[in-house]
Amino acid sequence: MFARPLSILTTVTLVLGAVSLQLPLASPILSLSHSWSDSEFFTPLESLSYVQESQFSVLKHPFFPRHSVRIKKSSFCDPTVNGYTGYIDIEARHLFFYFFESRNDPDRDDVIFWTNGGPGCSSSLGLFMELGPCRVLDDDGPKFHPESWNTNANIFFIDQPIGVGFSYAEYGETVSTTEEAAKDIAAFVSIFFENFHKFKGRAFHMAGESYGGRYLPVFASAIYDQNALLVKAGVTPINLKSIMIGNGMTDWETMIPSYYDMACTPASVTPTLDISTCVAMKNIIPRCQKMVRESCIDQFDAIGCGAASNFCSGMLSAPFRESGTNPYDISVPCNGSVATTLCYPVTAVISNFLSTKSTRKKLGVDTVVSANFSSCNHDVGAAFSGMLDVVHSSKLYVAGLLERGVKVLIYVGSYDWICNWVGNERWTLALEWSGQEEFRSQKLREWTVGGVKAGVTRSAKNGLFTFATVDGAGHMVPYDKPKEALTMVQRWLAGEAL
């Protein structure tokens, strides 16, 4: 990497004292021999009220000398709350984010971090299409969204890793594994909470969908492990309470065989593929599982695992993809194409909105970013694919979080094919942790919203680990079922059973 040196000096609105700590990015905090107080090293910005719309404020942290955060007020979405945008700067790499205060009580409500998946897709889709305080569904621009998840929570949306959305690298640097991406997220979270004192100790939840099932367990684990080092140094740790994964690709090994169940059995809808194709798929599953187990799981052989991945994907997912059915909602045909609009033309509307100069000026997007916004960066996806990142399961990270008291919610729209409920239920039941027996013994029960069935659920250890389906929803649950999704999140944050 070509490094651009950062010094902890005076910034737009923040002065930091000189710090002698120099810590490598590979480990956010190494062994620290002494503790420190807030006043010993720097004066935090403390209040978001000091952040201006006309210029960026810069946030830094003595434990992360290679990282800083730029943040500005941005009025473009929901006039009822304060909104902010900015960049996480890691020397010559820059991750873009949005932040919205809660509509209810921003000084007391929990904080949610949201990321979309891909890998390579912008969280602007989550913001403007699914769960944000405004939606961009037509050419008239943002409109107030009543079922936004900031109804009772402060919320981040982040474009990660580098190259996604408005995020960029000055010298072509890339991130191609989830573990690499986790380092930057853990640093950003610490910098934000340490600078704005009203959020210190506030309950923090990490949420996302799709490839977020791979991301979030690793991101949350990085934050949890970092906390132990912060505590040793006398720094307030992040109050990590839970992760919420929607239609996640958490365990590829169990997801791949489930493509047969979704396309060839009435797991959600009438079978979509012809009988002969389904017979061929069923017969190939044992061979696929054997190849994956031998080359990807029991030992990792990059060549053998790559061959297993290509073989299984070709035999078990290609037939459905060629059928023309929407892989994100098997109840309808694809509207457009997966490559151009993800089968949802509204994604093109969002891209057009974010490509305009006026929008970018309000957001504070750096001028070096390409004029045409792209919802998903296929080069980022290809880089992760080249590293076979998806075959590295995140389920053991989930188990590790559960054993340390971090709650985990796995929710799945019943109509999704690509990260479906069958595969997600299988890995949750097979997960080895101290509550496995209790979790497996629980029968699925209905959960309701307004007296109407919303899906089925099971949980263990007083809701520490919860699996839930959302009836009639596809891959993007908050888009298809906004009322049910918001109710689910509100109950989760309140510690209530679904």
Question: Please, what sign has the CA dihedral across residues 343, 346, 350, 351?
Answer: positive
Residue 105's CB is within 10 A of a number of other CB atoms, namely 11
- What is the C-alpha to C-alpha distance for residues 349 and 180, in angstroms, rounded to an integer? 32
Both ends of the chain: CA-CA distance in Å? 47
Catalytic residue among 102, 148, 210, 323: 210
CB 266 within 8 A of CB 257: no
What does the alpha-carbon distance between residue 255 and residue 296 come to, in Å, rounded to a whole number? 14
In angstroms, the Cα distances linking 440 to 371, 409, 458, 467 are: 51, 15, 9, 11
Cα-based angle 176, 178, 184 (whole degrees, multiple of 5): 95
> CA–CA separation, 492 vs 115, rounded Å?
18
Specify whether 434 is catalytic: no
Closest CA to 433 of 462, 466, 465: 465
- How many residues can be counted in the chain? 498
**Cα gap 431→402, rounded to integer Å:** 11
- The SS3 assignment for 11 reads coil
| Cα 237 versus chain centre, distance | 21
Alpha carbon distances (Å) from 308 to 253, 261, 314, 383: 11, 20, 10, 18
485: left (phi over 0), alpha (psi -120 to 50) or beta: alpha
Q: Catalytic residue among 416, 459, 471, 480, which?
A: 416
Catalytic residue among 261, 351, 475, 480: 475
For residue 320, the cross-strand partners are none
Task: Quote the tokens at residue 430.
Answer: 């097979």
- Residue 161: asked if its preceding bond is cis (omega within 30°), the reply is yes
Does residue 309 have an active-site annotation? no
The residue whose two tokens read 């070509």 is 2
From CA 102, how far away is CA 94, in angstroms rounded? 26
Which contiguous run of DSSP H or E holds residue 467? strand 465-470
With beta carbons less than 8 A apart as the criterion, state whether 183 and 222 touch: yes
Q: Is the peptide bond before 119 cis (omega within 30 degrees of 0)?
A: yes
- Paired tokens of 64: 């992360």
Q: How many CB atoms lie within 10 A of CB 137?
A: 16
**416 catalytically annotated:** yes
In angstroms, rounded to a whole number, what is the distance separating the alpha carbons of residues 98 and 77? 11
Q: Give every CB contact of residue 270 below 8 A, 6+ residues apart in sequence.
A: none
Three-class SS state of 413: strand
Catalytic residues: 210, 416, 475
